């Protein structure tokens, strides 16, 4: 038996095997990150098409070679304005953004302090940087402070956290973390991937709290309904990343369609800054319904609402039963979440009605006792 066959069999036995499935458009989709339903918005689609008409289908090269388009710089200006930061730089994806930012900021003599539930892109960026990585207990500012104070490194100290955590849906105590970073002379990097477009009139949690970290990272592929990533920062750091971020330097520029779509999405958000509040109101209704029937939702305060099941096989079974009821809610298992905390991860979008939400709650109540 080959090594890959053996390892795949082991994953299947543990209820951890992942497979790709073609999505059925007739399912009620509670697993999408298209939070504002903008990927299907006529204005967004129209601007993507016009971007292709005017610029072709590809950038033609890396931004430092022949691929720097006026569209790229227009979007960067708009993203900086959205997040209340001085400047911004677009990357090929949210993952590449975090990889590029952390490997540029940190090296062998530096220390990264990372929340234990940070996204994989932050984890991989920290590890790849070759800095020492010290993980603090989830959202525990006191533990973070202890780690920083006990660190005798003379290199850069960098705190890294998500604002909205992708599997719990809870929100980091960013004001306290920001104040600690300032007091201890640490750089602060905040990933706002799941907050952009939803919180702070679209600008994220940092904007809503009126705090300015050193770097805000984000994505175009969730609430903005497009594809790509960005880092919002100072003009100096933007220049630094252009020169030091390998995932920017050696990657072809984003295609015009993605840029056009993101620009149109920002136009929609700026013209309707309260749409995120509507989404959170519906998410709260859904979370309260799941709590009422006995599901642990991990302190969610966002549009991401987990329902913790625990056992891998049972989680897969409930996900399958939901699909039979024409509801898509993908089972999330280790290593994406800690062992023993397999869950269904529900994502609320503006496409979900109150009746849709009530239907899911009703089916979940039936399945809880199976």
Would you state the pLDDT for residue 181?
98
CA–chain centroid gap for 78, Å, is 19
Cβ neighbours of residue 299 under 8 Å, at least 6 residues apart? 168, 169, 170
The answer to whether residue 11 is domain-embedded is no
* 102, 122 contact by CB (below 8 A): yes
What totals of helices (H) and strands (E) does the chain contain, helices first? Answer: 14, 12
Residues 99 and 208 in one domain: yes
40-64 per-residue burial string, b: 16 or more CB within 10 A, e: under 16: ebeebbebbeebeeebeeebeebbe
Domain boundary among 271, 290, 310: 271
Tell me what pLDDT residue 370 has: 60
Query: Based on the domain organization, do 263 and 364 belong to the same domain?
Result: no
178: domain CATH number? 3.40.640.10
CATH code for the domain in which residue 310 is found: 3.90.1150.10
Same-domain pairing of 47 and 70:
yes
315-to-5, 17, 241, 312 alpha-carbon distances in Å: 24, 13, 41, 5
Number of domains in the chain: 2
Which residues are CB-neighbours of 72 under 8 A, at least 6 positions away? 59, 63, 90, 253, 254, 259
Assigned domain for 21 exists:
no
Residues 173 and 88 in one domain: yes
Domain encompassing residue 62? 42-271
Q: Are 308 and 341 in contact (CB under 8 A)?
A: yes
Rg (CA), the chain: 21
Walk along the chain (370 residues) in steps of 10 and give the mean pLDDT of each run.
Answer: 89 89 86 97 98 97 96 98 98 98 97 98 97 98 98 95 97 98 98 98 98 98 98 98 98 98 98 94 96 96 96 93 94 93 96 95 84
CA distance 29 to 270: 26
Of 271, 300, 322, the domain-final residue: 271
């Amino acid at each position: 038996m080959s090594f890959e066959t053996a390892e795949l069999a082991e994953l299947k036995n543990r209820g951890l095997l992942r497979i790709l499935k073609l999505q059925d458009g007739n399912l009620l989709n509670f697993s999408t990150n298209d939070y504002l339903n903008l990927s299907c918005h006529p204005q967004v689609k129209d601007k993507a098409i016009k971007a292709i008409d005017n610029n072709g289908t590809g950038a033609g090269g890396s931004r430092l070679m022949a691929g720097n388009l006026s569209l790229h710089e227009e979007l960067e200006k708009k993203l900086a304005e959205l997040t209340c930061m001085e400047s911004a730089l677009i990357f090929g994806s949210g993952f590449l953004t975090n990889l590029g930012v952390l490997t540029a900021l940190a090296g062998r003599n530096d220390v990264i302090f990372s929340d234990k539930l940070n996204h994989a892109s932050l984890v991989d960026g920290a590890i790849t940087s070759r800095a020492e990585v010290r993980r603090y207990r989830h959202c525990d500012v006191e533990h973070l402070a202890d780690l920083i104070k006990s660190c005798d490194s003379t290199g850069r100290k960098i705190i890294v956290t998500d604002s909205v955590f992708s599997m719990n849906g809870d929100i980091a105590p960013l004001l306290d973390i920001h104040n600690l970073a300032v007091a201890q002379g640490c750089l602060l990097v905040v990933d706002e991937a799941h907050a952009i477009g939803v919180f702070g009139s679209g600008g994220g949690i940092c904007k809503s709290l009126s705090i300015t970290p050193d770097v805000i990272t984000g994505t175009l592929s969730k609430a903005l309904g497009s594809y790509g990533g960005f880092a919002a920062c100072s003009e100096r750091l933007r220049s630094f990343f252009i020169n030091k971020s390998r995932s920017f330097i050696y990657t072809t520029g984003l295609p015009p369609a993605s840029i056009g779509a993101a620009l149109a999405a920002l136009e929609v958000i700026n013209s309707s800054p309260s749409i995120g509040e509507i989404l959170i109101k519906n998410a709260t209704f859904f979370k309260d319904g799941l709590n009422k029937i006995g599901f642990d939702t991990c302190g969610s305060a966002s549009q991401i609402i987990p329902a913790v099941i625990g056992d891998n096989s049972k989680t897969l079974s409930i996900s399958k039963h939901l699909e039979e009821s024409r509801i898509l809610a993908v089972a999330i298992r280790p290593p994406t979440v800690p062992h023993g905390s397999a869950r269904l991860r529900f994502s609320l979008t503006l496409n979900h009605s109150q009746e849709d939400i009530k239907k899911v709650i009703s089916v979940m109540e039936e399945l809880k006792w199976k």
